[in-house]
Amino acid sequence: MLFHVEMTVHLPNDMPEDMAAEIKATEKAYSQKLQEEGTWRHLWRVAGSYSNVSIFDVEDNEALHRILGGLPLFPYMEIQVRPLCRHPSSVRDDDR
């Protein structure tokens, strides 16, 4: 199943810089692993904000929930999830 996920990060202003840097580095490694596996299919930054728009390709809602809950930045995120399905007017034969 494909999901459109918007994530906005709200780190506390008083979070020490070294702690923020460590969380971000761990998050980057985690997200890149999922991208290489094909689970996190697309990742775009939203210009002018600390947020992204992503497309996930997972088995079901529970799988997506586990992935999002495993994000090191998850406790500091506002997340919106939208399930996707093929549009009948699409000229593509697959979801790639």
pLDDT surpassing 90 at residue 93? no
> What span, in angstroms and rounded, lies between the C-alpha atoms of 39 and 59?
9
The pLDDT-based confidence of 95 (bands split at 50, 70, 90) is low
The residues, ordered by sequence, that sit 6+ positions from 80 with a Cβ below 8 Å of its Cβ are 5, 6
pTM of the entire predicted model:
0.90
Look at residue 96 in the predicted model and tell me its pLDDT. Answer: 60
Look at residue 94 in the predicted model and tell me its pLDDT. Answer: 73
DSSP 50: S
What are the pLDDT digits (tens) for 24-70? 999 999 999 999 999 999 999 999 999 999 999 999 999 999 999 99
Q: Where are the domains of the chain?
A: 2-84
Q: CATH classification of 2-84 is 3.30.70.1060, yes or no?
A: yes
